[in-house]
Every structure is written in C-alpha cells, then in structure tokens.
Amino acid sequence: MIVSHNHWQEIRAFCRDDEAYRRMLELLTGCLSDGSERQLTAQQTRDHYTAILHLMPDRVFRVNRNGDGLDFKGTQEDTENGIRREDVVGTNLRECLPPDIAEAILNAIARTLETGTLQTFEYQLTNTWGPNEELRDYEVRLVVCGEDEVLAIERDITERKHAERKLEESATRQAELYQQLQTLNASLERLVEERTAQLQQKMVELQELSDLKDEFLHAVSHDLRTPMMGMRLVLQNLQKKVEDPIAVSHSVLERMVQSLDRQLAMIRSLLDAQSSDVRGISLTYESLNLGELVTAIVEDLAPLLSQNQATLSNHISSHLPPALVDPAQIRRVLENLLTNALQHNPPGLHLTLTAQTDGDFIRFCVQDNGIGMAQEECDSLFDRYVRGARARRAVGVGLGLYLCKQIIMAHGGEIGVTSAPGKGATFWFTLPQG
C-alpha cells in the first residue's frame, strides 16, 4: 500500500478526534521503516484497512474500478437499521444506486485511479431504510487504497447542506433587504428633493406676496394721500383769505367732491374685494335683456367718453336671448371694463362693443384700439392688486378687474383678455343664457 502526504490529510479529516487519528497513524506508520515506503503483504493490507475502517465515523466502502464492493464499514445508524457488511460486499454500485448516481461515482473512481488524487462527489438519495423516507444529502470522497481499488468515504451532509441553504437564503434575504433599503433611501432622497423644491417655491411665492403687499400699500397710501393733499392745499388757500364768509367757486367744490368720490370708490373696492374673498359675491338674479342694459350703461358713460375724447360703437343687439344675472353686478363689470380702457389709454380712444351666442352662453367683447399690452400682462391682469404696466395716466390699487373676475365666475362664466403691444386690447366675458 502506498500512503502519500495527501492521503494523510484526507484520512485526518475523517477521524472522530485526535485520539482516533493517533491510533490510525500508529497503524499506518507500522507499515513504514526508515522514512521510506514499502509494500505491505496482502494480509497486512487487509488488517490495516480493517482497522482504519473502524476508526472512521462515516460509512466507508472499499470498491474496485468496476464498482464492486470489496469491504464495508457502516455507521451506528446502519447497524440499527440492519444494514450488514455481508449485504454490501460483492454487490455492484449499479445494483444499489440509481443509474445516474452510480455512473457519476464510477467516473469519479476512474479519475481517482488515473490521477491518484482525491475526488469528491455530492449527491442526493432518498433514505428508504430508516423509519421515515426522506431526501438526504451525501458527500463521497475517493482515495486510492490499492491497485484498481479506492476507499469511498461517504458522509451524510444533510444538516450541513440545510445550514448552507439557510445561510444562502439569509444572504439572499439580506441582499433583498439591502435592495429595499436602497430603494427606500432613493425614494426618501427624491421625496426630500421634491419637498425642498416645494419649500423653495413657497419661499419664492411668499417673497412675491411680500413684494406685492409692499407695492399695494404704496399704491393705497399714494392714492389716498394725493387727493387729500390737494384738498388740504385748497383749504389752506381759502384759510388765508381775510373775508368772512369765504366765497368758494363751484369748480373748486366740484373738484373736491370728485376727489372724495374717488377715495370712497377706492375704499369701497377694498371692502368689496375683502368681502368677496371671505363670503363670495352675493347675487340677486333676474332674467334680463342684456342688450337693453348695455344701451343704458353707454348712455350713462357718455360724459366720461366725451371728457376723454373717446368714441364708442355699440353693436350689441337688443334681440339677444335673455340671461339670468344680477343686473347691478353686470353693470359694474361693464363699467369697470369701459373705464379701465379709458384710464389706461391716451385720449381719442375708440371702443367697440359686441355680443353673440356661444352654445349655452353669451359672449361679450369690449375692444379698443389703444396701446395694448404684452402676453405676460394679460396672464396676470385679473389677479388681485395687479396694475398693468400701461397704467401711465391713472393710479390705483388694481382691484377693478379682480372684482370683475369674481363677479363673472360667480355667475358661472369666464373672463379674459387678448392683446399685443400697439394693437389694442379685447376684453371678453361669458354669461349663461337664462
């Protein structure tokens, strides 16, 4: 028998403990002298292998190249289950194992004999000799033990495989959890970015509102202070006169009344805007011929048109379908649109009024040939406290068009404007038919 260094290592791995390995070394080294290898007699080989078999805790077979069983040492479990040496010796692997497993082991035996190196083979086999049939995992290690003979050391590795599968499942689960964590982390980062962007947008909006508030307060103070300073100067001049009573011309009184009317109108607009935001626009509906209403409004505004050297063409027919509206509020809308055009354009303006049915609605247009405005102004013109850049001839807090929008929306309609610089403007609004 030839015992190489590699064989020592493999045999050591299968001994129960250090004492078993020591006893095995004594048996094997009894076959060697002066550090050189020598061939044992056939009887000595059998005796030593028998001793080696009984030192191993695993099931051990000695088989030849063809797979014939030459010797067998079973485990304690084999003894309990009635598996005897006589049942294995003389039996071929093909007779006791499934064909695919038997063929794989025979190929491994051939490689072991050809290379002289350890061959390891794992397989699964259903345990049919125990109390319960179950699929078990086995590992077979093959080492050369003689001419055309190998030792097949079989170990039940079911528990180890089970632990490995558990470990693999745990690793897989950990990888999945890590991936989920990465996904959650990425989602959280996106959420933080979105919230940060939203907060930044809110900060911008708050700053814009703060700027708008400052502009609004400046406009209010200017619009209230200017006429009051004018009246103060008039009253101071009158105070300087020595006669008593003091004579005041009708023109002075008229200017003072107009100034007070403008202040009262502005205060009323502020209150109306606040009221519409808190309680909404209050409407008193009537079925009304809007053509007749427009004609009356045009007649009432004739002095204002004359004062601004403006002309107006009314193309609204008196035969329009009736509409269910609040006459006072619609009058307010039309008056605001017409006075807005006069205030924000130079003298000599021409206005055109038209109306036509549009499905279930009536669409009104107030068109002028004034200075016009950019699209950016058009988009924000109906917002609260916005004053157009074309407001050269008048100052105000910009509530008129905002209230127009509130009134039209309360009626269930829409309002807007189309314009371009130098091409005039067309204000339009829709009202549902009654």
DSSP string, 162-213: HHHHHHHHHHHHHHHHHHHHHHHHHHHHHHHHHHHHHHHHHHHHHHHHHHHH
Please give the residue that has the higher pLDDT: either 27 or 283: 283
Taking the C-alpha atoms of residue 264 and residue 261, their distance in angstroms, rounded to an integer, is 5
pLDDT tier for residue 228 given thresholds of 50, 70 and 90: confident
Average pLDDT over residues 94-105: 91
pLDDT of residue 371: 92
Q: Is the pLDDT of residue 41 over 60?
A: no
| Tens of pLDDT, residues 367-410 | 999 999 888 888 888 876 555 444 433 434 456 788 888 889 98
Q: How far apart (Å, rounded) are the C-alpha atoms in residues 130 and 118?
A: 30
Query: How many Å apart are CA 280 and CA 407, to the nearest integer?
Result: 9
Q: Which of 409, 415, 220 is closest to 337 using CA atoms? A: 415
Topology adopted by domain 286-432: Heat Shock Protein 90 (3.30.565)
pLDDT reported for residue 332: 84
Once rounded to an integer, what is the mean pLDDT over residues 221-246? Answer: 74
Report how far residue 394's alpha carbon sits from residue 136's, in angstroms, rounded to the nearest whole number. 98
pLDDT higher at 21 or 175:
175
Handedness of CA 253, 258, 263, 264 (dihedral sign): positive
**Cis-peptide, bond into residue 245, ω within 30° of zero:** yes
Q: What is the pLDDT of residue 391?
A: 43
Lowest-pLDDT range, 28-37, 58-67, 254-263?
28-37
The reported pLDDT for the residue numbered 30 is 44
Q: Please tell me whether the overall predicted TM-score, pTM, comes out greater than 0.85 for this model.
A: no
pLDDT at 336 (0 to 100):
86
Q: In the predicted model, what is the mean pLDDT of residues 273-277?
A: 59
Token pair, residue 421, equals: 């610089």
Nearest to 267 by CA among 220, 304, 231: 220
Range of 43-47, 273-277, 355-359 with top mean pLDDT = 355-359
Q: How far is CA 385 from CA 97, 126, 260, 388, 395, in A?
A: 95, 88, 21, 10, 12
**Is the pLDDT confidence value at 21 over 50?**
no
Give 381's DSSP letter. T
Higher pLDDT, 174 or 209: 174
Whether the predicted pLDDT of 171 surpasses 70: yes
The string of pLDDT tens digits covering residues 136-170 is 899 999 999 888 999 898 888 889 899 988 999 99
Residue 36 — pLDDT band, cuts 50, 70, 90? very low
Confidence label for 252 from pLDDT (cuts 50, 70 and 90): confident
Domain boundaries, the chain: 5-156, 160-238, 286-432
What is the percent of the chain with per-residue pLDDT over 70, rounded to a whole number?
Answer: 74
Pick the CATH number of 5-156 from 3.50.50.60, 1.20.810.10, 3.40.50.620, 3.30.450.20: 3.30.450.20
| pLDDT band, very low/low/confident/very high, at 37 (cuts 50, 70, 90) | very low
**Contact assessment for residue 374 and residue 388, using Cβ atoms and an 8 Å cutoff:** no
